Structure 1
């Protein structure tokens, strides 16, 4: 049996890479694989190569691990190419979020929209286009899957410039299905949804539990919890449900009550698409990105995991066995999707693909997060005729921001960057947008040759 090759570009992303390799190790009847790791950071590449080889040896898996700091060395004959890069790393990510705070703009994530996400796109898009050109030249038949953010802008730019077929993957829809399953005390396997949107703003408009409409059950539980007071005499199990349900994602639940659909991926991401609701970051008595959904905590945790990767690689920490248990994360769908494609199983997944008429009331060119069937011909979007027009209007505004962001990243025109920020809605004026844009461009100068 011929060994298939998967190339992972951005392999220094420790959690993703370890989770992915563990999934391939634990997958049954999935064939023989070579996993080629690529990262421009030589130290990170050495550590993750050493660590994943330890994982393969620990489980005596028939997987070959190779690595290179030059992707062109390993792309020829690749069957699958995965991108998880982050140009500028966590330090640039910090700047994307912290600099806008000077202007009263607070973000809990800053990797998709608002000034932080727009700034990130400027760094990411040119590099991702270069990668896609190499794929087109060296392995044009490979399945190209991107996990890097901002997902929508990156995938749209690749399609626009190179025409290379790229699929964006994110576990957000799965995460919200699991969240809603827990909300009504159902098993994850019992709950299924249909959703349409753009990455991190996907509206689940159909929810089923064992094939039956789940919204009435959701309504009943939401009503019950809203009647409960924090001091009520309730059982331990009910108290856990109460403390970990709608109170921690109040904006998402208010959106559900207004529109009858549930947004993915909960308040940490969804709030960033509606900055007009949260002036100066004020979010139910707290400040976004600081007192709630702290960016600093996320960055610190990322730094800690990165250091642990090096420690495990060098033998100063034992191999973390948790990766060999079925873990949640961005990687979790990949084996199932590839298996469905290679075996033509025709299973349905939520993915990011060009619309091209699948959702008639949204722009054809837009990259949407929507259900698609994984077939022997690749991923084919489902045709969605009943997507609500009022939700389409919300998405059209956000797609316009993506269009402007992509053009700014491709042309290096500051005027388009300013227009993207104004259209996004987080800035108070064009003057503020101009000043903030200038500061972000100066800070990121080394990553933005198109603006120089």
Structure 2
């Protein structure tokens, strides 16, 4: 088979290497073209060298190109993958640090809450640019596979305003299922499940271990006796006890999507674990990303050497992209969990929402399972987030700073901590700080600056309840990261 895959944001070196290795594990795809593009020429060159070496060492006829010209990379592409982070770590720091001044302590800040909402404001204009290019120069009917967060906001904008065939992809469902299999003492292949909801708030509504249905009490007991997860996933287990179903997302992620666990600084330590960033530390993902960037810069020769191994040593991962492409191209059916417009797949969530739910892929594309009804508590939690996502997406498309502020005001955690006056000031401050990545708000920035100059809202310099220091590369190497 010969077709073209374009990867936007290919400078996410580690993730791109994984995605490409997965695709090249499919024997039918030995002769494809892989077009890499990124605005960061340095990172793009690093990943080009890595992918070219993988192709060369394995004697594949696949063609690899790399260019900072996005339209050239997209020209004729049948599949387009996006893993972009607009604004990079510079903008990400303001997603975390400015809300801290107003008392909002986030672990990740990439989905909702103050940071995730602003991340969407930066991403949506770029996503719509991608869509315009795809419609103009890619292969007709090309499929846009979005890996970039905020997943629902990006996918919603691409479908509603970009007019491109889009699916959002995440690995939270697979990772949560792996945890469930471990605590139940079965292999991943022995676990079957239906997981449904919205991205990062997806719920295992039916679990079968070796064909036997697992009820909530058994799952609670299994997690509570596990020596690691009982410590790392305390908040997640508490939600399981109260809701009766387990959530896909990590302790740190889930903590900032709900209004109950991070609103009082003195309570945060009760629910998190600082052994790894993902379990709830303040700005944990920002620290992790910073350390990984430094690691790649220093140890690139090591990554290039690893690329010289045979693909026979690469175990194909559970990332959906390669499996979706294989199913569409070959007809070999794949079952996964995908982010698409609801349209009745989940009966008690809005039809226009971007849901994450089971589907099957074959030559006819992605076909979603319809008629799933979430438990009422799960639907209520998802519905609150969907309202925030809808407002944030519309604000990003239209550059509407008033709607942006309303989205933040309705965010569960922000609303539990901040007064309306504080939300308005925080949104103004974030828009001003991120102005260079927010072209749609150019007309709103001068007035926001004036309001900030006259503001009487009190802020504080605060590192958060559980901030950890950024480790140097030598320390990471010594501790094995």
* Length-normalised TM-score, structure 1: 0.89
* 1:334 and 2:321 aligned: yes
**1-structure distance, mates of 2:303, 2:254:** 40
Change (3 A) 1:336 1:6: same
Task: Quote the offset at 1:319 in angstroms.
Answer: 3.0
Aligned to 1:237: none
- Contact 1:177 / 1:188 at 8 angstroms: preserved in 2? yes
CA distance in structure 2 between the partners assigned to 1:14 and 1:316 by the alignment: 9
- Structure 2 contact 345–370 (Cα < 8 Å) conserved: yes
Match of 2:364 among 374, 377, 390: 377
Q: Aligned in 2, Cα 1:169/1:203: closer, same or farther, shift over 3 Å?
A: same
Higher mean displacement: 162-171 or 110-119: 162-171
CA contact (8 A) 2:202 2:356 kept: yes
C-alpha distance in structure 2 between counterparts of 1:291 and 1:169, whole Å: 19
Q: What SS does structure 2 have at the residue aligned with 1:279? A: coil
Q: Deviations over 1:56-102 (max 9, x none)?
A: 22222332110111111121221110011111012211210111111
Deviation at 1:322, TM superposition (A): 8.4
Cα distance in 2 for partners of 1:291, 1:193 equals: 24
- Partner residue, 2:100: 101
Contact 1:19 1:327 in 2 (8 A): no
Distance (whole Å) between structure 1 residues aligned to residue 164 and residue 362 of structure 2? 18
Structure 2 residue aligned with 1:235? none
Match for residue 173 of structure 1?
A: 173
Partners of 2:4 and 2:32 within 8 A in 1: yes
Q: Match of 1:69?
A: 68
Task: Determine whether 1:344 maps to 2:331.
Answer: yes
Match of residue 254 from structure 1:
238
- Give the drift of 1:317: 6.6
Q: Any stretches of 5+ residues in structure 2 without a counterpart?
A: 443-481
Do 1:7 and 1:74's aligned partners in 2 also have CA atoms closer than 8 Å? yes
Change (3 A) 1:357 1:36: same
* Residues 1:252 and 1:94: Cα distance change in structure 2 (over 3 Å): same
Q: Does 1:35 align with 2:42?
A: no
Q: Do the aligned partners of residues 292 and 322 (structure 1) sit closer, same or farther apart at CA in structure 2, a change above 3 Å counting?
A: farther
1:232 is matched with which residue? none
Provide the residue aligned with 2:440 in structure 1: 450
Equivalent residue number for residue 161 of structure 1 = 161
| SS at structure 2 position matched to 1:37 | strand
SS of structure 1 residue aligned to 2:33: strand
**Pair 384,430 (structure 1): closer, same or farther in 2 beyond 3 Å:** same
Q: What SS class does the counterpart of residue 164 from structure 1 fall into?
A: coil
- Of residues 366, 370, 391 in structure 1, which corresponds to 2:378? 391
**How far apart, in 1, do the equivalents of 2:60 and 2:283 lie?**
38
User: 2:219 & 2:296 partners in 1: Cα distance?
Assistant: 42
In 1, the alpha carbon distance for the partners of 2:273 and 2:127 equals 30
- Secondary structure of 1:202's match? strand
Residue 365 to residue 291, structure 1, CA distance change in 2 (3 Å)? closer
Report if aligned partners of 2:57, 2:309 keep a CA contact under 8 Å in 1.
Answer: no
Give the distance between the partners of 1:145 and 1:302, measured in 2 at CA: 22
Q: What's the CA shift for 1:29?
A: 3.5
| Contact 1:97–1:110 (Cα < 8 Å) also in 2 | yes
1:270 paired residue number: 254
Asked whether 1:432 is paired with 2:422, we answer: yes
* Distance in 2 of aligned mates of 1:288 and 1:75: 42
- Provide the C-alpha distance between the structure 1 equivalents of 2:303 and 2:195, rounded to a whole number of angstroms: 45
CA contact (8 A) 2:35 2:64 kept: yes
Change (3 A) 1:353 1:94: same
Q: Structure 2 matches for 1:53-64, cutoff 5 A?
A: 53-64=52-63
Aligned equivalents of 1:315, 1:260: Cα separation in 2: 45
**In structure 1, what is the Cα distance between the partners aligned to 2:336 and 2:124?**
25
Number of residue pairs aligned between Structure 1 and Structure 2:
434
Q: Does residue 1:207 correspond to 2:194, yes or no? A: no
Q: Contact conserved, 1:25 with 1:59, CA < 8 A, in 2?
A: no
CA distance, structure 2, for counterparts of residue 431 and residue 288 of structure 1: 32
User: Aligned equivalents of 1:314 and 1:257: distance in 2?
Assistant: 47
- Aligned equivalent of 2:221: 223
Q: Give the conservation status (yes or no) of the 8 Å contact 2:9–2:38.
A: yes
Residue 405 of structure 2 is aligned to residue 406 of structure 1: no
Change beyond 3 A, Cα 1:73–1:291: closer
Q: CA deviation at 1:189?
A: 0.8
Deviates more, 1:167-176 or 1:261-270: 261-270
Note if contact 1:48-1:313 (Cα within 8 Å) is conserved in structure 2.
Answer: no
Q: Distance in 2 between matches of 1:365 and 1:295?
A: 33
Task: Judge which range, 358-367 or 336-345, deviates more.
Answer: 336-345
**Rounded Cα–Cα distance in structure 2 between residues aligned with 1:203 and 1:291:** 19
Q: Deviations over 1:267-323 (max 9, x none)?
A: 121111113332145324377998953465544443444355455666897335789
Which range is displaced more, 44-53 or 120-129? 44-53
State whether residues 152 and 402 of structure 1, in contact with CA within 8 Å, keep that contact through their aligned partners in structure 2: yes
**Whole-angstrom distance in 2 between the partners of 1:221 and 1:130:** 45
1:106 and 1:288 in contact (8 A); partners too: no
- Which range is displaced more, 71-80 or 415-424? 71-80
Name stretches of at least 5 consecutive residues in structure 1 with no aligned partner.
Answer: 229-240
TM-score, with structure 2 as normaliser: 0.84
Q: Is the 8 A contact 2:145 2:321 kept in 1?
A: no
Partner of residue 285, structure 1: 270
Q: Give 1:178 shift.
A: 0.4
Of the three residues 352, 355, 358, the one matched with 1:368 is 355
